[in-house]
Structure 1
Amino acid sequence: MMSLRKKKKSSTTKPSSSENKTLKIILASLKNIVQNSIYFVVYKIQHRIHHVIIFY
């Protein structure tokens, strides 16, 4: 009985840790995408402002 319980515990903890890893990877990639899009938007806005300043 004790050995079966130990096996069950180890099997349940393994998938949860791998799920946490995948979630962390997904969150990290999402953060990178969001940061890149923000930088791109800021760059575009600055570029437009620069052009406006040149034209005026």
Structure 2
Amino acid sequence: MITGELRNKVDRIWETFWTGGITNPLDVIEQFTYLKVEVQKSLDETQTLFDSLMQKYFG
């Protein structure tokens, strides 16, 4: 069982999905996983750009 701050974060995420019309727990997991993958992809692209700029300007 989770408690405290983590529980509050999970509850807020669940509430966001619920008010957006996603009430099936499996759909929530699917959407959350999709969002996580997209955020990770964006972070990877940002890191690649940063590395490229560092190499270009600081060799």
TM-score past 0.5 threshold: yes
Of 39, 46, 50, the residue aligned with 1:23 is 39
What's the CA shift for 1:23?
A: 0.3
Find the aligned partners of 1:11 and 1:19 in 2 and give their Cα distance: 12
Flag as ranges the 4+ runs of structure 1 deviating above 4 A: none
Q: Looking at CA atoms only, which structure, 1 or 2, has the larger radius of gyration?
A: 1
Find the aligned partners of 1:16 and 1:34 in 2 and give their Cα distance: 27
TM-score calculated relative to the size of structure 2: 0.59
Identical residues among aligned pairs (%):
3
Secondary structure of 1:26 counterpart: helix
Letter in 1 for 2:41: I
Give unmatched runs, 5+ long, in structure 1: 1-6, 44-56
Find the aligned partners of 2:30 and 2:45 in 1 and give their Cα distance: 23
Q: Which structure exhibits the higher relative contact order, with contacts defined as CA atoms closer than 8 Å and separated by 6 or more residues?
A: 2
